[in-house]
A and B are shown apart, each in its own frame.
Chain A
C-alpha cells in the first residue's frame, strides 16, 4: 500500500530535550516536506527536500533541522524544543513533475512541549 508513515504519532516532551520525528514514504517520490498545523493558520511549510542530500527552508524553519540521506526517509529534528513548537506536524511527499501532482500526507504527529 502506497503511504507516508510518521513516528511517533503522539509525543509529550520537555523544553530542551532533543527529539526526532521520523517520516518514510514507499512511493519513490523525489519531493518531501514537513508542515506544522496550528489553529487559524492552516498548514505552514517548515522544510522541504527535492531529492537526496537536497534540502531547503520553507516558511517557518526556525528551531528545526532535517536531513535526507535516503530517498524514502526525511526526519524532522528539534535540537532544543520550546513550548511554541507545540503543534501538529505532517510529513508529505509527491513525485517531481507537473504542478498538478497530488501531495500525499502522513497521519500526523501531535507534539506537546512542556
Chain B
C-alpha cells in the first residue's frame, strides 16, 4: 500500500500570502490528485494529474511534482481558500488518500 504523508497538518496563512502544501508518497506514483473539502461539504476534485486544475478552480492554484514528492501551491491566499486539502494516488490499489492539510485564514 502506498502511504501518502501530507505536511503540514494544519497551517494558517494571511490574505495575499503564498502557500505550499506538500504530499509525499512512500513509493513512486505517476500522478497526484488533490481535493478541497470545506467544512460540512463533500470533497471536490481540485487538481488532477499533478498539475491540471479542475473546472472552476482559480488560477492562483497550481500543482507540481513527480515520483514521491508533490505539492499544491496557492499563489496568493484568499479567504475562500480556507479548507482541508487531501492528496490521492490512483497509480495502484488500494487507492489511498493523505491525511489532509487544514488551511486556515489568519
Q: Do A and B come from one complex?
A: no
